Amino acid sequence: MDISAKISEELNIARSRVDAAVKLLDEGNTIPFIARYRKEATGALDDVQLRDLSDRLTYLRNLEKRKEEVRTAIEELGKLTEEIEQDLSEAATLAAVEDIYRPYKPKKKTRASIAREKGLEPLAEFIFAQSAGDPYAEAEKYISEEKGVASVQDAIDGAKDIIAENISDDPEIRKILGGLYDRSALITSAKAKDDIGESVYENYYDYKEAVSKIPTHRILAIDRGEREGVLKAAVEVDTDNMLATIYSRVVTGKANNRNSDIVTEAAEDAYKRLIHPSIERRVRNDLTEKACTAAIKVFGDNLRQLLMQPPVKGMVTMGLDPAYRTGCKISVVDATGKVLDTAVVYPTPPHNKTEEAKKKLTALIKKYGVNAISIGNGTASHESEVFVADMIRELDVPVSYMVVSEAGASVYSASKLAQEEFPDFDVTQRSAVSIARRLQDPLSELVKIEPKAIGVGQYQHDMPPAQLSQALGGVVEDCVNTVGVDVNTASVALLSYVAGINTGIAKNIVAYREENGGFTERKELLKVSKLGKKTYEQCAGFLRVPGGKEPLDNTAVHPESYAAARKLLELCGLSEDDISSGSAAAGISTKVKELGIKKAAEQAGVGDMTLSDIVKELMKPGRDPRDELPKPMLRTDVVDINSLKEGMELKGTVRNITDFGAFVDIGVHQDGLVHISQLADRYIKHPLDVVKVGDIVNVKILGIDVKKNRISLTMKGLN
């Protein structure tokens, strides 16, 4: 197989770009490095395209490896034919390869293998030939007490078992039936037991849908319901049609042929006992795999959008981790995230010490100049939000608040990393610090948490752990490298996501700066233990050194392009000092327009794309791409679900996206759902086509169910 050609066709990427990307990956380059600094080679493939390409490359190489293993195994048995060679060559999936290998694969003890041990294979061959001979007369030859064949019927039954297994192992039959299942099968679900009452799975108590059309979120719901013992699922097909298909291929004798009658019985047994259960498992596995892939993609897209939320810069922030009995833990952090003070207040039931809490928090707000309050959305969140809104109304200084997701905060708080960061704090106090920092800089704080614990997706706990971790880890890596990292302030957790850097090297970087007082230039990284030239090449462009010896070290310009950057500055009549002062933008813009990108690139000695990136960096040194996105919506008042009315129009923030819609925070404790059918005035395939996590949107209330705490929203005609 020409793997590059196949990837080019599947992903609709030019062959030359695929070849270049494969070569760069094989040379040990990281995806962020290739996406950012090898655009000329790959035609500017972005990190998402490169990850898709890399995943497909790995799969296809494993497929070719497995084909060769199977080819060798069959050849060693002396059964390799041109037809098998052709089938292996054309097999497009690992499952197809295993179907080809099935007849030759060593089996555990089966009914057929036991019959073969009894010497009944020649009888099976005689019957399957479907000549006019009498199978029962032939079977008498195989009666043997020693071999455990006590009667003619025993011999016939053993032969049928052999024929049934041979039919089941026939790759062509499996291929034809597999296609029929994929096109016509239904997935069904029902109550697992009669005494199961109401549950979230009620819609699936008597459910059928075509395998070819069922949405992925419904597959995951049925799978989970089955795991929880509430549902029983199955794959349903037209059995008569399947049997007729098998008969047409294996029953060759004329009417009233006793051998053909036995083959017909064996074929029915093969289908019901062996083929249907096997293909049913395959169909269910394929559905689940497809659903998991789709869910992981949604989770990854949501996570990317969450991590890339604009930081709330320059604000002293109060983090509030709500609770009932144990009180609300408070942490005040300065604009850089440094903890200034901590406290515990009891404004919620059962204590209800509202006035005392207001006095304490008001004093902290005034003492430290708090601008924003970040409230965790867990237990007692709504009561805490009401309390904060009331307090803000009574303040004579401007303060606003935002409810943030505290998903994963408890995981972080109990982690070794949190213990090292705050050895003198208890678990809940660390959580309050994390909640404050999530508002200030979501990316820097959330990288400390295992991505799957962040909770922006659907059925994330049902996903294959390794596949989920790999996909989400890639998303975090892409986000961290897109933004860039201050090498002198970044945590070990943040540094470990920088291209080329693992946790060990990240710890060595932190140890070096603690011992030497910080880095003054990028090339000083080469003095860090275990950080060699290849790692430096991969990571250098993503690490920033603000205020260092070399102004270019605080940009995304890679050290390999410093000469080109200096040549560009020279062409524009500027110096590196102009970068630091911020006065380079106008001169660069004018000169590049005058020369044109192509000519400027030629004179600088780099490609057009590389020069364009250098221009962007020199015009906005140290820029944060998140700053160009809409700012988070801070509130000063709270809305109660009982005050909502159908038809009300509100502004909200998209908090989560699933296959079936988007959940929007409208200032009520419970997020409202905008169903996919209510997201736009046109047909859309997926909510991600029109919204993303963090979007500020206008919504109208369609319905309110106070008992079930559900709010239905629409965005039609409002955005």
Could you write out the DSSP letters of every residue in 447-501? TTS-GGGS--SSSGGGS-HHHHHHHHHHHHHHHHHHH-EETTT--HHHHTTSTT-
Pick the CATH number of 512-628 from 1.10.150.310, 1.10.3720.10, 3.40.50.10950, 3.90.226.10: 1.10.150.310
Q: Does a cis peptide bond (omega within 30 degrees of 0) precede residue 546? A: no
Residue 129 is predicted with a pLDDT of 94
Residue 344 is predicted with a pLDDT of 95
Residue 107 is predicted with a pLDDT of 80
Residue 315 is predicted with a pLDDT of 93
Q: What is the number of alpha carbons within 13 Å of residue 136 lying toward its C-beta?
A: 4
Which CATH code is given to the segment(s) 317-440?
Answer: 3.30.420.140
Find out whether 147 and 114 touch, Cβ atoms under 8 Å.
no
Domain 641-714 has CATH 3.20.20.70: no
Q: Domain 3-75: which CATH class?
A: mainly alpha
Rounded CA separation 562/523 (Å) = 12
Find out whether 296 and 418 touch, Cβ atoms under 8 Å.
no
Which sequence spans correspond to the domains of the chain? 3-75, 317-440, 512-628, 641-714
Q: Is the dihedral of CA 378, 384, 389, 395 positive or negative?
A: negative
Residue 706 is predicted with a pLDDT of 82
With CA atoms as reference, report the closest residue to 644 among 698, 716, 694, 712. Answer: 712
pTM equals: 0.82
Residue 582 is predicted with a pLDDT of 65
User: What are the 10-residue block averages of pLDDT along the chain, 719 residues in total?
Assistant: 94 96 97 97 95 96 96 94 92 91 88 95 96 93 93 96 95 93 96 81 94 94 94 97 96 86 96 96 94 91 89 92 93 94 94 95 96 90 89 92 84 87 88 92 89 75 86 92 94 95 96 94 96 97 93 95 93 82 74 87 93 89 77 73 85 88 85 93 92 90 86 91
